[in-house]
Amino acid sequence: MPVLGRADDRVEFAKLKSGYAQRLKKILAAGGLPYIDIESSCNSTKLDVDHVAKNMDDLNIGLMALSADIGKGQFENGVRFDNLSQRLLASYPDRFIPVGNGGQAPALTEATDAFVDAQEAAARGRQIMLLGEYEFRHYPSPRQVKRNELDRDADVPIDGPIGHRVFAMSEKTGMPLQIHYEIEDGLLAPLEKMLQQYPKARVIWCHLAQIRYIERASGYSPGYVETLIKRFPNLYFDTAFGDSGSIYPLSGQHHARVWASDGNLKAEWRDLIVAYPQRFVSALDLGGDRMSRIVEYDQKHRNFLQRLPDETRHQVAYRSAWSLLFGEEFA
């Protein structure tokens, strides 16, 4: 079993990689399509690890980067780093990718230095392979809106001190960084500025074409995304978004903009993914309030993958993430 935090962690990471490859190949050999969920998170104090692992087997989910969000209660008790990944690997080293904690309030905003210091230390100690999802601009989720929980309205300037620290950390460590960054006209230029200033930062912009308010995002389109892909070779997009019927309750709009009214992928988004499949990665975006819905989320993601050509489907499902994590093609 891998033990993180030791001097020989590099060797243990090689063992993890070998176990991951065996699991993916086993699923493929049985005729299944494994995918790598690059972005999910949870409340580690309420996580049923065995239940998640069983679902992964039942659903042919290859690997999962399951990040711990430091909740308010943990934060108030002084927690600045949650070692969930170490606990996951102790039980299931062939399916969980060690990932840093979710970068959200209050840990990110009220104890910024201590929180980022802890993530950086974990990266230097090779306890993680990628950095968790940092919430720079994040509206309340649809589920939170329905519960009238509207306080999760994060607005951290991506080109401010926190953004510079986090982008520099990705650049320095070589580890991919996940960002949640709502798609709005006024937010695009600051992101481009940071991508240009930190060309070696490896950024996964979560939730392709998820737009909460279409009137605020007139400049975003498949063509715009293509210009970003061409300009910034280290920019990736995850494909965690709602289905064609998903509506954001505060705007009343269908916020997964990749879907046509008939439930098919819009041709322009499909063509973009087919043209640049290496830049798109699978994700479920499971969270603390929806870990019990893994079957539903798997079905939605497979519905998306099934609408891609076979070679593109395999690239997005697991090959792109494999290349991103290990710097080589999956073989």
What's the average model confidence in pLDDT over 207-226? 98
pTM, two decimal places: 0.95
* Mean pLDDT for the chain overall: 93
Residue 1: pLDDT band (50, 70, 90) is very low
Residue 150: pLDDT band (50, 70, 90) is low
Residue 175: pLDDT band (50, 70, 90) is very high
SS3 string, the chain, reads CCCCCCCCHHHHHHHHHHHHHHHHHHHHHCCCCCCEEEEEEECHHHCCHHHHHHHHHHHCCCEEEEEEECCHHHHHCCCCCCCHHHHHHHHCCCCECCECCEECCCHHHHCHHHHHHHHHHHHHCCCCCEEEEEEEEECCCHHHHHCCCCCCCEECCCCCHHHHHHHHHHHHHCCEEEEEECCCHHHHHHHHHHHHHCCCCEEEECCCCECCCHHHCCCCCHHHHHHHHHHCCCEEEECCCCCCCCEECCCCEECECCECCCCCECHHHHHHHHHCHHHEECCCCCCCCCHHHHHHHHHHHHHHHHCCCHHHHHHHHHHHHHHHHHCCCCC
What's the average model confidence in pLDDT over 195-215? 98
What's the average model confidence in pLDDT over 320-328? 97
Q: Looking at residue 3, what is its pLDDT?
A: 31
Residue spans of the domains in the chain: they are 9-326
Q: 9-326, what's its fold? A: TIM Barrel (3.20.20)
What's the average model confidence in pLDDT over 67-79? 91
